[in-house]
Structure 1
Amino acid sequence: MLTAPTFSSVEGAYLALLELATGSAEHHIAARGNEAREVLGVGFRLPDPRQRLPYLVTRKANPVFQFAEALWYLAGRRDLEMIGYYAPSMRASSADGINLGGSAYGYTLFTPATGESVSPFDRVLELLRTENDSKRGYLPVFSPAELAIGDNPDMACLAGLHLFARGGRLHMVCNMRANDLDGGLLSDVFSFTMIHEYAAVQLGLELGSYTHLIGSAHVNDRNSERVKKVLAEAAVRRHPQHFPFPEMPTGTTSATIARVLKHEDLLRTNRARYSADDIAGLNLDAYWQQAVLLFEVYRQIQHDRAYTVSRDVLDALHPGLRWLVGHRWSACATTEQ
């Protein structure tokens, strides 16, 4: 018997949890002044973790930030310079205005600890290469030391990621201390399933199921009106949008991530501007070119203050990504929307 309900994409899980927390809340809490409705100990499973994007007009998911955050994690970074450009609100969570703490999950996973030469992530991969059916492939993120920091502005919501190699597939179980269902859930699932798929590629395994388990699943009262609109939209849709997400290339390595981030840096700092043809000519697989296309879209919006993003760049986007940016930014709207 499965311990968590199964959904074909993150969108179904997101809607089901919103419905649960708003319609059958177990508690009304006000932790640190944030009033919210809460349910305890819930989760879901995605048999195909690649279906990691929701297509809801009211929710307006941001694939630019989602790719940026996933790459920021995969590179083991914790700097605000990059991630704060895509999500300025994250600056408020930094104790020193330079780096993030507990929420810099990639830094914890991909950076060797002091005195170590191998990261926790690489150590777990080596374990899974050498020990069949291991149950020890756990990557802790939340640290008890975070509780000792007075008025900690940035405590990890992610407790840890658990990898299981079974029958030629790599499965992942994610354990969340807490999840803001309307705010953080979608970006968390996007990033963690990207880490999951990246690990499967490194191990030469097929991608298995992703299970997301949450201690405190909550919807903040300040977001209640948007949640109502999202659920109302879902209730009346006749034909939900569906755009299958492509597979991560088998040749993806840390060097691939570094090459993508080199172009991200050029675009973020406005030291380069790319046409679709420029991006097609980069030394990157078409899959990762999509991330660069998204960063060019955002460069035009942020730096050029474009009223209309270049049509060649929009046309080169995967249809699902084009649909999402078109519904989030008016400068990206096309006749297809």
Structure 2
Amino acid sequence: MEGVKPVRYAGITEAYVSRLDGLLRDPEYLNSPRGFASQEHIGVSFSIDDPRRRLIPMEIRRSNLVFNVAEVLWYFSGRDDLEYMSYYAPGIRRFVMGADALTGTAYGPRIFNFGSSGLDQWESVAETLRDDADTKRAVIQIYRPEELTVPGNPDVACTIGLQFLARDGRLNLVGYMRANDAYRGMASDIFSFTFLQELMARKLGLELGRYTHMVGSLHLYEPDLGPARRLVAAPRGGNSPDDRMPAMPSGDQRPHVERVMQIEEGLRTDAVRLGVSEIRTLGLPEYWRQIVAVFELYRRCKHRTRADDDGLLDELHPLYRHLMANRFPELSSTPRIKAQVS
């Protein structure tokens, strides 16, 4: 008997709109966990055939590319510091219980320094896949049961784990979620997980397979019902560019990420300011120079030290340029700054 296959979408935009539409039209449950009214589907599963189609270029949504990239690089750097994440998402402070670090939201320490043994799950999974390409054991655990024992904990991990499956020369990934906010969290989570999928695939010399998202509770909170209805009703296409991110360079990306994060710190603290020519001479592959350019453009908005049209926005990949201009319209015209490089 043929097994039941998950619903498959070409990319995240199709999945996002479809799942919101289903929650709006035919919710399975209406409930209020912790007093937050929501509409819910349970036991949801779907796949995305092209994990590089991880961004939603719909103008009505105003996707935050900077946050998406910052979050996944924060994970990949093994960090949990609030200072970094609050620069890109100030509202995240409400999830912190009087500390300078995040717990459940910070997946990085769990991936690279798990438990009392400090296990590097990333390297353990990579080695498991190298030893046995057909393995079903290449799992990174995120959720920790002791999170439930913290009274009033506002920051319990939504992700249970990530399972990497190498099949026919392609690396597939299954993300297991205990819960997922369909309007806000799902898009960011899928971006991060498919980005990690590509990082692992490059490390192992494999092509990208598909991504499968499995969720215990997929829900839509009451305050987001109106925005979700408007988004589902909005036309797609139009002036939107192709929603596929470029491919990462071959090989292990760790050295490139470390260099990007060094530069990011300078930009975040406004100690470094970069123009087009400086970014071109950073010694990074084009893929990662584009990420640095995104961080620099955000620095200009955040620190209000902007530049006349030095062409940086135009240097971006069309998808990135569309997302940045849509999210930060102030980037279109600014007074000139002098570039500084350290």
TM > 0.5 between the two? yes
In the alignment, is the contact (CA less than 8 A) between 1:178 and 1:217 conserved in 2? yes
Q: Deviations over 1:269-300 (max 9, x none)?
A: 00010001111110211101111111111110
Q: Does 1:27 align with 2:26?
A: no
5 Å-filtered alignment, 1:164-179, equals 164-179=165-180
Number of matched pairs: 331
AA at the equivalent of 2:158: C
Q: Deviations over 1:141-188 (max 9, x none)?
A: 111111111111100000100011111111100011111111111111
Q: 2: distance between equivalents of 1:37 and 1:332?
A: 37
AA at the equivalent of 1:265: E
User: Percent of aligned pairs with the same residue?
Assistant: 37
Match of 1:36 in 2: 38
Range with greater deviation from structure 2 (96-105 or 175-184) = 96-105
Shift of 1:239: 7.3
Q: Does 1:295 align with 2:301?
A: no
Q: Does 1:9 align with 2:11?
A: yes
Q: Deviations over 1:9-64 (max 9, x none)?
A: 10000000000111110111111221111111112211110110011111110000
5 Å-filtered alignment, 1:197-208, equals 197-208=198-209
Shift of 1:251: 3.1
Shift of 1:267: 0.3
Match of 1:233 in 2: 234
Match of 1:93 in 2: 95
Shift of 1:325: 1.1
In the alignment, is the contact (CA less than 8 A) between 1:297 and 1:309 conserved in 2? no
Match of 1:69 in 2: 71
In the alignment, is the contact (CA less than 8 A) between 2:68 and 2:188 conserved in 1? yes
Match of 1:251 in 2: 251
AA at the equivalent of 2:212: T
5 Å-filtered alignment, 1:177-216, equals 177-216=178-217
Q: 2: distance between equivalents of 1:81 and 1:137?
A: 32
Match of 1:313 in 2: 312
What secondary structure is seen at the aligned counterpart in 2 of 1:6? strand
5 Å-filtered alignment, 1:76-225, equals 76-116=78-118, 118-225=119-226
What secondary structure is seen at the aligned counterpart in 2 of 1:178? strand
In the alignment, is the contact (CA less than 8 A) between 2:273 and 2:296 conserved in 1? yes
Shift of 1:92: 1.1
TM-score of the aligned structures, taking structure 1 as reference length: 0.94
Match of 1:276 in 2: 276
In the alignment, is the contact (CA less than 8 A) between 1:91 and 1:97 conserved in 2? no
AA at the equivalent of 2:191: F
Shift of 1:240: 5.8
Distance 1:309-1:90 versus aligned 2 partners, 3 A rule:
farther
Shift of 1:198: 0.5
What secondary structure is seen at the aligned counterpart in 2 of 1:97? coil
AA at the equivalent of 1:8: A
In the alignment, is the contact (CA less than 8 A) between 2:159 and 2:179 conserved in 1? yes
Q: 2: distance between equivalents of 1:298 and 1:239?
A: 23
Structure 2 spans left out of the alignment, 5+ residues: 334-342
AA at the equivalent of 2:312: V
Q: CA RMSD in A?
A: 1.7
